[in-house]
Structure 1
């Protein structure tokens, strides 16, 4: 355990940031899972709904990059994978 005030504060700040980062990552995973589930049921869901879900996931990923939760290239890879799966499903019909 740290004895210096600034070290104690740094521990508190690091823990707070860790929890916020986990919250962002969890939200991205949750939105992605919902998006993939609705992709599986594509004919039942219209493409407008899928695009709105995709934009919500994109928005959350971009916010995570802006807050340095995710690296830029990781976010680009996630977005690319999401869009590739969307195009694959839409193209199949």
Structure 2
């Protein structure tokens, strides 16, 4: 338990940031899931449409330091590789 007013405030600030980060991360994961679903159904057009949304959400998470830049790049590369494989 916090002993000072400052520590109490930090607990609140950290909780708000955690909730904000959690929402962005969840949004990103949902967008990735929609791309993976389209890939699983072998629907290249739907996958490409969903990819633009997913890339945007991944970039937003990277900008906000919720995930590391390399992690974001790896996620985008993986999705694009999978789409290119089903587009053949």
Aligned to 1:18: 18
1:72, 1:20 → 2: CA distance? Answer: 19
Give the alignment partner of residue 78 of structure 1, picking from 36, 55, 75. Answer: 75
What is the RMSD of the two structures over their aligned residues, measured on CA atoms? 1.3
Residues 35-82 of structure 1: CA distance to partner in whole angstroms, max 9, x if unpaired? 11112223xx462x3222101000001011111111111101111111
TM-score, normalization by structure 1: 0.85
2:64, 2:6 → 1: CA distance? Answer: 23
Aligned to 1:61: 58
Aligned to 1:31: 31
Structure 1 unmatched ranges of 5 or more: none
CA contact (8 A) 2:38 2:44 kept: no
Structure 2 unmatched ranges of 5 or more: none
Aligned to 1:3: 3
